[in-house]
Amino acid sequence: MIAIPDNVRVWLATGHTDMRRGFPSLARLVQEDLNRDPHAGDFYVFRGRRGNLIKIIWHDGQGACLFTKRLERGRFLWPSLADGVVTVSVAQLSYLLSGIDWRMPRETWRPQATG
């Protein structure tokens, strides 16, 4: 498991991205289309057209990281905006990667106190 720093910001690139791209090409997208610095230590998350593949780029201060996750079934839930970027919390990213609806996660079941 990769330890995600507490202070990292997570950005979802809305729309879909060509998943043949690697770190240099995705970093260029971050710079030119999102007007952000891909080497600033933030996570940038991209989703492919089919919706079952995401790529995350992150520069950890020592080097460039590229993470990929492909779902065997289903699709990643994604913002409906046509273009741009949406920021989410690290917890929401965790939900997203787990296939849980990150927009409205359900509460964990807790037994009711009896009185």
Residue 31, pLDDT > 70, answer yes
**pLDDT value, residue 109:** 42
List pLDDT tens digits, range 44-99: 999 999 999 999 999 988 999 999 999 998 888 888 765 578 888 888 888 888 87
How does DSSP assign 48-95, residue by residue? Answer: -SSSSEEEEEEE-SSSEEEEEEE-SSS-------SSSEEEE-HHHHHH
The structure's pTM equals 0.83
Tell me which of 113 and 43 has the higher pLDDT: 43
Q: Picking from 4-18, 25-39, 48-62, 100-114, which range would have the lowest pLDDT averaged per residue?
A: 100-114
